[in-house]
Structure 1
Amino acid sequence: MNKTADTLIQFSDVQKSYDGKSLVIKNLSLSIFKGEFLTLLGASGSGKTTTLMMLAGFESPTRGEIRMRGKPIEHVPAHQRGMGMVFQNYALFPHMSVAENLAYPLKMRRMDRTERDIKVKRAIDMVQLHGMEQRRPTELSGGQQQRVALARAMVFEPDVILMDEPLGALDKNLREHMQYEIKQLHRSLGVTVVYVTHDQSEALTMSDRVAVFHKGDIAQIGSPSTLYERPNTAYVANFIGENNTLTGTPALVENGCCHISLAGGVTVKGSASHLNGYLPKQVELIIRPEKIRLTEASETSYRAVVTDKVYLGEHIRVHLQLANEHKLVVRVANDQASRNLQCGHITGFRWDVADAHAFPLN
């Protein structure tokens, strides 16, 4: 795919300050491609929601430019940008029925009654709310209200749908179900979705690409698998998913492998791809629990004491303590071997060098 030709929205060196002093957004440059599902992921205050609000037209950049189809939109009013919006609190009109809520954005666009009715029916079919057209929002469950909010954002067939923490008010099971429904709607309609969340699992599940925000800028952007398997900073590695972190002194870098001395005389190995060919004073080695394999204790394996086991159904979390008192968590399959592990016993463990990322310790 020619991404340049497929760019729908472009942020170029965008800054945003609310007080004229501190920058909430710092020199943001971001391309959003036509038809993609892009998630803006980050902790509270990282700048993700401010970015969405600038795109929606509810906030204006302090500096820089936002273009859509090559044309600046900073001065285009929100209602003229052709974007649908879904909020966490649904923002439905309580005095209107489902059908009236869906018809409202069409009325604002002065669409005639016949065409409005056709589009409302199509939207009802799309989110499977047959028979609920005359109900008020207070007569619907949380999941049904969220479907109405989705349908209202899509009913006028916008080019872009913006979603600001849309599933934050739902319980876990309903949240997971709605994630699937939103992704299916995205696939079937081919609409561009820009989605804001602080939930990393949600971002990995739903997105074509994820932009990880940190202190007003993008720390890394890429596919879910790229961010999870190949984080380019310690911040991204720690923010996405669960990790073990070992801090030590790099003793040697050779053939892309970093030898790291830990306290207590233990030496471990990890990928040196983020060290840029030099040896910092200290590094942190980051390895995910599922990347560690338990083995028989031997001279060729790392060794640790099993200090705890946590049964979690489909897998077991095994807690290890190395000789230097560094601790690790390992996620292993729920099989006979893992069930036979005993607390206090010594076990061996290994990992592939490529799965353990060494980052300079700032």
Structure 2
Amino acid sequence: MNSVSQFPDQSPLIELCHVQKSYDGKNLVIQDLNLSIAQGEFLTLLGASGSGKTTTLMMLAGFETPTRGEIRMGGKPIQNVPAHQRGMGMVFQNYALFPHMSVAENLAYPLKMRGLGRSEIEQKVKRAIDMVQLHGMQARRPAELSGGQQQRVALARAMVFEPQVILMDEPLGALDKNLREHMQYEIKQLHRHLGVTVVYVTHDQGEALTMSDRVAVFHQGDIAQIGDPTSLYERPENPYVATFIGENNVLRGRPLERQGAELDVALEAGFVVRGMAAGAPQALTQRVDLLIRPENIRLCHSDESRYQATLADRVYLGDHLRVHLRLANGETVIVKTPNDAAVRALRDGQRIGFTWRPQDAHIFAAG
């Protein structure tokens, strides 16, 4: 799949051109990857385990070599350049800090390896300490730090030699929810402040949507879709992306009349609904799946909509309720609705209407 950067006026900083990767010479874990990354971009590689996102990052870092294809940086091939000569900072999930070194010594290490003088090392270490707000902790060892503080040290070590690119492999996976969300904000602020290019790997879709300029959704060794978070969430190009990013109700039906981009679908539940047709018309002639997000469904009185269901359950989640509706054929529709008195007053087993805007429903050929 070809991808276009959202920075069209710039030449790409990094390009992966027809890259393939096989570990056994038979099975490709990366199929035919084409990807351009702009200077200063925050690009997230998102996908499930085994989708190829981490292998791609390891090839960028120089820890793995492509079986075929080319990786370029600044227009020059780098697939045969050793990792330590690529000028990229790396942040690992397990931090990979030297346990016998202090914070300051951990930060100084990559500078010593590059042959910098003592005064310059001290200056850069101090700047990195300030950057991640670890004042007064220079003499501590990793075991004396919290998980969040260790993550800050790992981040500072990746940035201390001022690389063009920082690669991050699930760097927040070991942190608890609140700290993870805080560190997401901190990393994004540092990215904006420094203007460095970041390539970030995660399986957490919320993390990807929160932090990224663009997200590349990986599936079976290729990019299923790449784009900004809004387009991925609101305009998925295929069923995989639609179901992997966020939550969707999937309703099976038969296509009827098409009016431009809109398509009527006769649901197996017994009524006709409308949504946006995705893909070529010839692909939508047999059975189709209509996908609609829970937050895009509106509840109403049963006489206000031709879409009818029975209230099966409600789940209280503080600021909102998850309402389970049962259709005539036994399918369940989940609705995410504000927590208000009218919804709480509904009774299980009650007939209820619901509706949605056609532009919020996406119709794909049934898988």
Q: Could you say whether these structures have the same fold, taking a TM-score greater than 0.5 normalized by the shorter chain as the test? A: yes
Residues 141-152 of structure 1: pairs in structure 2 closer than 5 A: 141-152=146-157
Larger CA deviation: 316-325 vs 38-47:
316-325
Q: Which amino acid aligns with 2:262?
A: C
Distance of 1:279 and 1:243 partners within structure 2? 19
Q: Which residue of 2 aligns with 1:34?
A: 39
Compute the displacement of 1:251 (Å): 2.1
Counterpart contact for 1:210–1:221, Cα < 8 Å? yes
Specify which of 218, 234, 238 is matched with residue 239 of structure 2: 234
Q: Which amino acid aligns with 1:186?
A: H
Q: What does residue 295 of structure 1 align with?
A: 300
SS in 1 for 2:348: coil
Is there any run of 5+ residues in structure 1 with no aligned partner, and where? none
Q: What are the superposed Cα offsets for residues 82-109 of structure 1, whole Å, 9 maximum, x if unpaired?
A: 1000000000000000000000000000
Asked whether 1:361 is paired with 2:366, we answer yes
Partner Cα distance (1:338, 1:131) in 2: 53
Say whether 1:159 aligns with 2:158: no
In the TM superposition, residue 324 of structure 1 has moved relative to its aligned partner by: 2.1
Structure 1 stretch displaced more, 275-284 or 51-60: 275-284
Matches within 5 A, 1:1-362: 3=8, 5-276=10-281, 279-298=284-303, 300-362=305-367
Q: Return the letter of the residue paired with 2:30.
A: I
Cα distance change of structure 1 residues 311 and 300 upon mapping to structure 2, 3 Å threshold: closer
User: Any idea what the Cα deviations from partners look like across 1:192-249, whole Å, max 9, x if unmatched?
Assistant: 0000000001000110000000000000000001000000000000000011000111
1: distance between equivalents of 2:18 and 2:175? Answer: 36
Residue segments in structure 2 that go unaligned for 5+ positions in a row: 1-5
Among the aligned pairs, what percent are the same residue?
A: 69
Aligned partners of 1:274 and 1:357 also within 8 Å: no
Question: How big is the shift at 1:279?
Answer: 3.2
TM-score (norm 1): 0.98
CA distance in 2, matches of 1:205, 1:126: 21
CA distance 1:207–1:252, change in 2 (3 Å): same
Contact 2:237–2:278 (CA under 8 A) maintained in structure 1: no
Further displaced range: 282-291 or 260-269:
260-269
The CA RMSD over aligned residues, in Å, is: 1.2
Counterpart contact for 2:271–2:306, Cα < 8 Å: no
Distance 1:28 1:100 in 2: 39
How far is the alpha carbon of 1:301 from its aligned partner?
A: 3.4
CA distance in 1, matches of 2:332, 2:258: 24
Work out the CA distance in 1 between the residues paired with 2:198 and 2:268: 48
Q: Which amino acid aligns with 1:12?
A: C
Q: Check the 8 A contact 1:65/1:74 in 2, yes or no.
A: yes
Q: How far apart are 1:4 and its partner, in Å?
A: 5.5
TM-score, normalised by the number of residues in structure 2: 0.96
Deviation at 1:335, TM superposition (A): 1.7
Task: Give the letter aligned to residue 317 of structure 1.
Answer: R
The alpha carbon displacement at 1:274 in A equals: 2.7
Q: 1:141 to 1:127 in 2, by over 3 A?
A: same
Counting matched residue pairs gives: 362
1:7 aligned counterpart, secondary structure: coil
